[in-house]
Amino acid sequence: MLIAGIVFLVLLLIGLPIAYVLGATTIVYMLLSENLNMLVSIPQKMSTSVQNYGLLAIPLFVLAGELMNRGGITSRLIGLSQVLVGHFRGGLAYVNVVTNMFLASIIGSANAQTAMMSKVIVPEMEKQGYKKEFSSALTASASLIGPTIPPSIPFILYGVIAEVSIASMFIGGVIPGILLGIGFILLISLFSIKEKYPKQTKASAQKMFKSVLVALPSISIPLLIVLGIISGFFTATESAAIASLLAFLVGFFFYRELKLKDLPNILVNTAVISSIVTFIVAMATMFGWLVSFEKIPQTMASFLVTITESQFGFLLICLILFLFIGMIMEGAAAMIILVPVMLPVAVQYGIDPVHFGIMICLNLTLGLITPPVGTVLFITSSITKISFERLSKVIMPFFAVGVVVLLIVTYIPAVTTWLPSLIK
């Protein structure tokens, strides 16, 4: 096991994709232990791991996001946000956050949101007198709402790994996502007063009504997803299929910006993204098999009990551990490796699996805006041409807001469990 652990660390440090790291480590362990029965069973284990109904939601939500992006949804949502909050001081900064909250209910990916919003709204904010560093930091931070508000790919992954209801994860993430948005809005208000950021002319009631009317088809899709899941009318996976269909109909027939010639590229992008996630899940299942065989969760539980017997202390250890891991490892990979180890221990401490999952997802999401491996920072830096080091410093107040929300989510379980309890 020691040699397998060394192989894991070496491959990880040289930058090999996490799927290959997990697979190679597992095979090395099996060869060294001469456990040929496990080695022979690998293909069946991998095949079984991806035959999960919950995983079907990932390509469907990715497809829905691709269709809505090509169908003119983003421009309508930005327009709606401007007429709703653009007239406040620092209005375009509020528009940034509100638009990200709308997009979060469509895309569910912080990286995708960052790339989109960095190209669209940062140049516009700079034209209106906002500092480029502030605009870039706000855009990167606001994208964290993406993996928190449903649909969320991290929530789907956790639900599959932990065998927890994906619908409960979706609904449980609504309040934390709103808290993040409110936290960023409060921080913007402080910056707006200090820097005297501009405000736009308040839109007339007629223009507001027109903007709401135009954006109504866009807003109706995420609302239908949430209401359908809450009412129990359809599952999270079924909602993804319905969202994809509605996204096509709205973009093709209502806005008429989605063209048939766009479909091949949309389907290819969906297949590529989905295959990457599926391959990681298959490799992680192999690695999880190794972890279970070595009884690592039981060993970890015994070790943590010697450190603390309280739930408070265990959650604090998890906070520090996952914040650190999120700084050096991609969130999905960290979740796939650590959830099978930590979840059984959390259950022993009496922690609700949904609460624990949302805490982990939010925790690892914060890693996207922290160096040295903050992918959202790299994306924003490359698009807006702000140095990575400078952006890392300017983003710290937004990171602090994220930590405060994380503490609320961690130590007030009702924030994540109240809404899911209503649909049981």
* Max CA distance (Å), the chain: 75
Per cent of the chain over pLDDT 70 is: 88
Q: Is the pLDDT of residue 356 over 90?
A: yes
Alpha-carbon gap, residue 22 to 18, rounded angstroms: 6
Closest CA to 27 of 14, 46, 50, 13: 46
- For the chain, how many residues are written? 424
Contact at 8 Å (CB) between 141 and 399?
Answer: yes
Alpha-carbon gap, residue 62 to 59, rounded angstroms: 5
Closest CA to 414 of 179, 223, 152: 179
| pLDDT for residue 208 | 79
Across residues 18-37, what is the average pLDDT? 77
User: Around Cβ 131, how many Cβ atoms within 10 Å?
Assistant: 14
Alpha-carbon gap, residue 57 to 228, rounded angstroms: 15
Alpha-carbon gap, residue 360 to 32, rounded angstroms: 33
Least confident of 52-56, 78-82, 143-147: 52-56
Q: Name the more confident of 312 and 340.
A: 312
What is the tens place of the pLDDT at every residue in 87-110? 777 777 888 888 777 777 666 567
Across residues 240-256, what is the average pLDDT? 85
Least confident of 97-111, 166-180, 196-210, 398-412: 97-111
Q: Is the pLDDT of residue 274 over 70?
A: yes
Q: Which two tokens stand for residue 268?
A: 């290819």
Contact at 8 Å (CB) between 281 and 55?
Answer: yes
Q: Name the more confident of 111 and 59.
A: 59
pLDDT band at 298 (very low <50, low <70, confident <90, very high): low
Least confident of 19-23, 54-58, 163-167, 216-220: 54-58
pLDDT band at 54 (very low <50, low <70, confident <90, very high): low
Across residues 396-409, what is the average pLDDT? 93
Rounded to 10 degrees, the C-alpha dihedral 194/196/197/198 comes to 160
Across residues 60-67, what is the average pLDDT? 78
pTM of the predicted model as reported, rounded to 2 decimal places: 0.75
Q: Is the pLDDT of residue 410 over 90?
A: yes
Q: Name the more confident of 279 and 346.
A: 346
